[in-house]
Amino acid sequence: MSSQEKIHSLKRPAIERMLRIHNELKSGSYPNCTSLAKEMEVSTKTISRDIDFMRDRMLLPLEYDSSLHGYYYTREVQSLPTIDISEGELLALSIARKSLDYYKGTPFEKPLANALNKLSASLPDTITANLSELSQSISFRQGRSSQVNEALLQAFTKATLERRTISFDYKKLGGSKTERRALNVYHLTNFLGKWYAIGWDQKRDAMRTFLLNRASSAALEGSTFTVPKTFSAEDYLGSSFGIYSPSGDHKVSILFKNPISEYISENTWHPSQRVDYRDDGSIMIHFELGSLVEVASWILSWGPNAEAMRPQELRDTLSKTACAIAELYRQ
């Protein structure tokens, strides 16, 4: 029996009982748990759970008349809203539940959990059991992550949604002291487990990206702003190899040697990616990027298996870095 058949066979008895209860209610016979249990040869507790499910989860207008000792519909109900879920939908729901781990410690954790719990509560117990079983079989490994102050993230989220300027103290990487900044936040993004705010820096009078882990003492201002129609988060981030703001127009070509070339070609590293395959098993991969900073670090991570072919600016940067690394280890 496939998992799809198993799910359907497990839930079918409950659905069939509810259909019979529904028909009795429609007939106006005022059935009760005792009469229904006797007719269907199940316990009164089972019928009571079915009725609770129909009333509380299916939201049917079902009430008990104490004078007639039975249940009835308070208004006309044409059909019973049956719940059906495919194997693919069940798997997707299970994955969604597991992926909540990614949002722990953020303002999104509780509302997302509540929404998924409500959705799960609308399913029959048998499907919920399968959902829990699937959840034990699936996990997410998100790699490195950093904790951001929840109140700070909430403030930036509110600033983004309400289009309000936010001021905060910010310490640059390697900086010795903080500096007060004011930002019109156009977009929040999570990259490799870190939260970033992208927007118009009023002090620099330019677009900037801020890592929230380096921000503190955030305060929402009274002034509001409008996101320019020309701004697109997808376009803005699309020209970067990671999170760095675009600063140019660079055509990058990198030679990857066999056997690492096979792994490189199996992945999409950037939307502009184009791959040329060579007879010797090597590949030439091409990107169009706004910044060379992050791609330089990425190339270095592959050691002697990767060689930047263009632009010359990138080759010069990598050459200087490689020499500095070699000198470090010679010492």
- For 164-180, write each residue's pLDDT tens digit: 999 999 998 778 899 99
- H helix count then E strand count, the chain: 11, 11
- 9 pLDDT higher than 60: no
What was the pLDDT predicted at 3?
Answer: 37
State how far the Cα of 25 lies from the Cα of 55, in Å rounded to an integer.
Answer: 12
246 vs 305, more confident: 305
30-86 confidence digits (pLDDT tens):
999 999 999 888 999 999 988 998 888 878 899 999 999 999 999 988 776 655 555
Q: Are 212 and 152 in contact (CB under 8 A)?
A: yes
Place of tokens 């007879």: 279
What is the share, in percent, of the chain residues with pLDDT greater than 70? 77
Mean pLDDT for 181-193 is 89
CATH number of 150-233, picked from 3.30.460, 2.40.30, 3.30.310, 2.30.30: 2.30.30
Least confident of 117-131, 135-149, 207-221: 117-131
Best-predicted range by mean pLDDT among 63-72, 128-137, 184-193? 63-72
Q: Are 135 and 94 in contact (CB under 8 A)?
A: yes
pLDDT recorded at residue 181: 95
pLDDT of residue 82: 52
Q: Residue 134's pLDDT is what? A: 54
| Domain ranges (residues) in the chain | 3-73, 87-137, 150-233, 250-330
Closest CA to 151 of 210, 102, 218: 218
Which range is least confidently modeled, 1-5, 194-198, 307-311?
1-5
- Is a pLDDT exceeding 60 seen at residue 2? no
State the Cα angle at 235 between 299 and 186, rounded to 5°.
Answer: 110
| Top-confidence residue, 312 or 291 | 312
Mean pLDDT for 140-152 is 68
CATH (one of 3.30.70, 3.40.50, 1.10.10, 1.10.8) for 3-73 = 1.10.10
Which residue bears the tokens 């981030």?
237
Q: Which CATH class is domain 250-330?
A: alpha beta
| Position 6 confidence tier, pLDDT thresholds 50, 70, 90 | very low
- Confidence bin at 137 (pLDDT 50/70/90): low
Q: What is the chain's mean pLDDT, rounded?
A: 82
Between 63 and 102, the higher pLDDT residue: 63
Give me the pLDDT at residue 17, please.
85
Angle subtended at Cα 79 by Cα 77 and Cα 85, rounded to the nearest 5 degrees: 130
Task: Evaluate whether 306 touches 260 at the Cβ level (below 8 Å).
Answer: yes
Chain segment 76-100, per-residue pLDDT in tens = 887 766 555 555 666 666 666 666 6
For residues 238, 240, 241, 245, the Cα torsion angle rounded to the nearest 10 degrees is -140
1 confidence band (pLDDT: 50, 70, 90): very low
**Average pLDDT value for residue range 295-317:** 94
